[in-house]
Chains A and B, each alone.
Chain A
């Protein structure tokens, strides 16, 4: 019913093509994360859904309601979409108290004064800030402001919540807590949400589905697990996680697997795109998937340990294979050499 359907949205701003035909669907109750680097068009897409910017072409539907359709000239203004939006800057009105901020959407909807007060207080209770109702925004911490912005966006039970980099203004420690808290709140309220973020961890933790954007195009869409474990492009593979990159040539193809060889090394991996023998190829492997051995073996490459850095919960080993640097994360400090780096063929992606 309440599916958000975005179809082929284009937008040009100041001569730059910001969105080059993005489509996605959000099922009711799901959280979708729009993930991408800055300039990928994710915020523009969110503002288009909110109605603050209008795309040049495409359609945006929420359930049975067409919010935007360039062919029919439909463009419901932001104030009549009834969606909830949490701004990156929170955009709390500095001249109003917390309670007044949260009450405002209800007053706009002509809810009676006593009821709107109760509902606003209930929303503040939901986010745990009821005692601070009479404070002004500048008297709150960043985390509290973020919660007030959220309360203001949910107080009128919008069918869809839009979040613009909701956690980016919080410091690292707080962000981890807020992430969990936010996900729990969305589940409790049983609403759908679209969340814009450049932080992959945030996207993976918050979302049911992730839409990866690159320069105005959706490059991959799927569950967090799919996006992280089965990237369909070099961009997707390298955007997520921390990666080693081994450029070489395809020496042998066997079914879905291929052997890539560089100067003084070769490795078996899974082909993510069609490759033939002799093609240039790049083997990508996540840092945490590299095994460090002291003896040669299947799909192992001799490497020279250059340095290793202790990072608390892990060791970060810097190795050299010919002219390529490879890093490996291990629980234990790297043993004394000689070293052989081992790769499970399924964890090496060949592009």
Chain B
């Protein structure tokens, strides 16, 4: 048993190294007055002084806070309403709508933002007819309000996920009891369902607020034209502004972002326990008939469809349209500008071809490898009552406080700093490692929720007949969770294909992926290429999502 504990501890130590190395290097760099690899760099607070005194930084900080608060106020109420009508009422077409509701989660924000530019930007295909109709600009896509609204609408699924799963786990008998007592649908929603899911709503509210501080793709594309900066785009632009890569300043901004993120992650963790307060309170699993809301259901359906049209159809239509036209703007006639050249051109650039190849590789093979790593960690701590297991629990939280952009930067430095692995920097390996660490908490949750579904007796029965731990893992635990592992692989594929910000700083010849290429090409104004790449990305996500749904993977986890 001692060697078994040693093996488990070793797994935790390896994970700890991967998680803590980027964190340590960022904090260390932030206290230097030059790049960490320059021998002349000395310990100093000068970087902090510079950043905190910079008026652009302060503005970016305030803007970020406004957007994060605004999107939370939009996403939480709408997500709660969405969860109630989908889970509990006789909304027409619920079965078909359910998977569609989660699509925004798997779409890359850069792709969505780009799609919005084409659809409702100053010369968007929706803007132009409306302008002709009312004679003036109907909206300004590049304003703070627009960014906040879009961020809010695209984060509704995050709230929906938690609210709906909590609603499902709370026995319908609690609502039926209210019905029998004489309450109508509206009253039940307000006095029974809402208070019961309130903890889940608070939890998801904190999550959305926290994600607001991580926003990168949306403000990068939509905020740029009017000089709207948020913390992440401030970080991204630092290099350009000063002309030289000022590592210490970037590190300070990264530290600030993490200082905001960590307390929110810790708060979330506290809230998660509270969020499930009512879950154990349930009767026998009872099939429940949906609440009939009469004519309201058509209004509810219209609302859901309108939201899907605004957050999924509109931007995707924009991406698709822009990828098959040579140009788009005032007075352009669609029939005259149709082309498939953009896709053909992708093949002319080796870095783009590599980028697409790497994206698929990281998604499929990298995803499988990551799931294997997550499973190894989860199994190492599975039903292990030891300080090591608890430490792993906290370690998994660390990357949650590191937005992809920051984590990518940190890993870039790790690969510069640690000489033995330096040759791997410009290969997909560096990306894979960064992706795996960034999504550690998510992956671990996928695997552990699969593991926890196994009744302990099944494993205990194997121990009692004399099986060793390794054997129990191989012959009982793993076979029982194999569908869960397959599902996790698909979900990890989806998020890896979608990921863009983690690759931004790791972008080098050899380590391109679609997401980071879009970010860098957008900066150069290569809209044709961006649109073609964006569509390829959407198609990859679509294929993954279709396979997942086909196999009946619970996308909402």
B182 touches A95 (CB 8 A): no
Contact indicator A94/B180 (Cβ below 8 Å): no
Asked if residues A89 and B173 are in contact (CB atoms below 8 Å), the reply is yes
B184 and A79 within 8 A (CB): yes
User: Do the beta carbons of B283 and A83 come within 8 Å of each other?
Assistant: no
Q: Residue-by-residue, is B185-197 near A (CB-CB < 8 Å gives 1, otherwise 0)?
A: 0010001100110
Looking at the assembled complex, report how far the CB atom of A67 sits from the nearest CB atom of chain B, in whole angstroms. Answer: 13
User: Given known contacts A79-B183, A82-B182, A93-B174, is B281 in contact with A138 (CB within 8 Å)?
Assistant: yes
Residues of A within 8 A of B176 (CB): 50, 52, 78, 85, 87, 91
Known contacts A52-B289, A138-B281; is-contact A93 B182 (Cβ 8 Å): no
A150 to chain B, nearest CB (A): 12
Contacts A53-B289, A87-B177, A89-B171 given; indicate if A105 touches B182 (C-beta within 8 A): yes
| Contact (Cβ within 8 A) A83 B284 | no
Which residues does chain A contribute within 8 Å of B284, judged by CB atoms?
Answer: 88-89
B278 interface residue per 8 A CB criterion: yes
Tell me which of B177, B192, B195, B283 has the highest count of chain A C-beta atoms within 10 A of its own C-beta.
B177
What string of 1s and 0s marks CB contacts (under 8 Å) between A68-97 and chain B? 000000000111111111011111111100
B292: Cβ under 8 A from any A Cβ = yes
B179 within 8 A of A: yes
Q: A152's contact among B177, B191, B282, by CB below 8 Å, is which?
A: B177
Question: B180, A50: Cβ atoms under 8 Å?
Answer: yes
Q: Indicate whether A108 sits within 8 Å of B281 (C-beta atoms), given known contacts A52-B176, A53-B289.
A: no
Tell whether A83 pairs with B180 under 8 Å between CB atoms, given A89-B173, A91-B171, A93-B174.
yes
- Chain B residues, CB < 8 A from A54: 289
Main secondary structure of the interface of A (DSSP, over half): loop
User: Does B53 reach chain A (CB closer than 8 Å)?
Assistant: no
CB of B305 closer than 8 Å to a CB of A:
no
Q: Does A109 reach chain B (CB closer than 8 Å)?
A: yes
Query: How near does chain B come to A76, taking the closest CB pair, in angstroms?
Result: 12
Q: B181 interface residue, CB < 8 Å from A?
A: yes
- For residue B369, CB closer than 8 A to chain A, the reply is no
Count, chain A residues at interface, CB 8 A: 34
Point out the residues of chain A lying under 8 angstroms from B196, CB to CB: 93-95
Q: In whole angstroms, how far apart are the Cα atoms of A11 and B376 in the complex?
A: 49
Q: A89 contacts which chain B residues (CB < 8 A)?
A: 171, 173, 282-284, 286
Q: Does A329 contact B (CB under 8 A)?
A: no
With A and B bound together, what is the CA distance between A109 and B178 in angstroms? 12
- Central interface residue in A50, A85, A108, by most chain B CB within 10 Å: A108
Q: Nearest Cβ in chain B — how far from A199, in angstroms? A: 16
Provide the bound-state CA to CA distance between A108 and B195, in Å: 17
Task: Give complex CA distance A176, B198 in Å.
Answer: 39
Pick the most buried of A85, A95, A153: most chain B CB atoms within 10 A of its CB. Answer: A95
Contact with B along A126-155 (1 / 0, CB 8 A): 000000000001100000000001001100
A319: interface (CB < 8 Å): no
Complex formed: what's the CA distance from A78 to B181 in Å? 8
CA distance A99 to B171 in the complex (A): 21
On whether the beta carbons of B182 and A108 are closer than 8 Å, the reply is yes
Question: Of B180, B183, B281, which is in contact with the most chain A CB atoms at under 10 Å from its CB?
Answer: B180
A84–B182 Cα gap in the complex (Å)?
A: 10
Give the shortest distance, in Å, between B89 (CB) and chain A (any CB).
Answer: 13
A52 pairs with B181, CB closer than 8 A: no
- Is A104 in the interface zone, CB < 8 Å from B? yes
Q: Could you tell me the distance between the alpha carbons of A300 and B278 in the complex, rounded to whole angstroms? A: 62
Given A52-B176, A52-B289, A78-B176, A91 and B283 touching (CB < 8 A)?
yes
Residue of B nearest to A100 (CB): B191
Q: Which partner residue on chain B sits nearest A43 by CB separation?
A: B286
Quick one: which of A53, A84, A89, A153 has the most chain B CB within 10 A? A89
Query: Are B289's CB and A93's CB within 8 A?
Result: no
Whether the Cβ atoms of A79 and B283 lie closer than 8 Å is no
- Write the A40-60 contact mask toward B (1 if CB under 8 angstroms, else 0): 000000000011111000000
Distance, CA A156 to CA B180, complexed state (A): 11
Q: Which residue of B lies closest to A85 (CB)?
A: B180
The reply to whether A104 and B184 form a contact with Cβ atoms under 8 Å apart is no
The dominant DSSP class at the B interface is loop
Closest chain A residue, CB of each to CB of B181: A105
Interface size on B, residues (CB 8 A): 29
With both chains docked as a complex, state the minimum distance between the C-beta of A134 and any C-beta of chain B, in angstroms.
17
**Of the residues B171, B180, B281, contact of A79 by C-beta under 8 Å:** B180
Query: A201 → chain B, closest Cβ, in Å?
Result: 21
Q: Are A79 and B173 in contact (CB under 8 A)?
A: no
Q: Are A108 and B181 in contact (CB-based, < 8 A)?
A: yes
Report how far A153 CA is from B179 CA in the complex, Å.
11
CB neighbours of B171 from chain A (8 A): 89, 91
Give Cα distance in the complex from A13 to B287, angstroms.
Answer: 10
* Chain A minimum-CB-distance residue to B175: A91
B284-297 near A? 1/0 per residue, CB < 8 Å: 10111100100000
The smallest C-beta distance from A18 to any residue of chain B, in angstroms, reads 11
Contact residues in A for B288 (Cβ distance below 8 Å): 52
Interface residues in B465-523 (C-beta closer than 8 Å to A): none
Residue of chain A at shortest CB distance from B281:
A94
Complex Cα distance, B287 from A109, in Å, reads 28
Q: Please name all residues of chain A whose beta carbon is closer than 8 Å to the beta carbon of B195 when the two chains form the complex.
A: 95
Contact A108 B180 (CB under 8 A): no
Complexed CA–CA distance, A152 and B177 (Å): 9
Give the chain A neighbours of B286 by CB distance below 8 A: 89
CA distance A77 to B281 in the complex (A): 26
CB of A335, distance to nearest CB on chain B (Å): 45
A51 to B184, CA, bound (A): 13
Given contacts A52-B289, A53-B289, contact A90 B283 (CB under 8 A): yes
Q: Which residues of B contact A94 (CB under 8 A)?
A: 174, 196, 277-278, 281
Q: B281 contacts which chain A residues (CB < 8 A)?
A: 94, 137-138
Q: Which of B180, B187, B287 contacts A84 (CB 8 A)?
A: B180
Question: Is the Cβ of A108 less than 8 Å from the Cβ of B183?
Answer: yes
Q: Is the pair B173, A104 in contact by a Cβ cutoff of 8 Å?
A: no
Chain B residues with CB under 8 A of A108: 178, 181-183, 187
Is B282 touching A109 in the complex (CB atoms < 8 A)? Answer: no
| Cβ of A15 to closest chain B Cβ, rounded Å | 14
Closest 5 CB pairs of A and B: A89-B283, A105-B181, A91-B173, A91-B177, A85-B180
Binding site for A on B (CB under 8 A): 171, 173-174, 176-184, 187, 191-192, 195-196, 198, 277-278, 281-284, 286-289, 292
A-B residue pairs in contact (CB < 8 Å), sample of 29: A50-B176, A53-B289, A78-B179, A79-B180, A79-B183, A80-B182, A81-B180, A82-B182, A85-B177, A87-B177, A87-B283, A91-B171, A91-B173, A91-B174, A91-B176, A91-B177, A92-B174, A93-B192, A94-B277, A94-B281, A95-B278, A108-B178, A108-B182, A108-B187, A109-B182, A152-B177, A152-B181, A156-B181, A156-B182
16 extra A-B contacts, CB within 8 A, seeds A94-B277, A108-B181, A109-B182? A53-B289, A77-B292, A78-B176, A78-B179, A82-B182, A83-B180, A87-B177, A89-B171, A89-B282, A89-B283, A89-B284, A91-B177, A93-B178, A94-B174, A95-B195, A138-B281
Residues of A within 8 A of B (CB): 13, 50-54, 77-85, 87-95, 104-105, 108-109, 137-138, 149, 152-153, 156
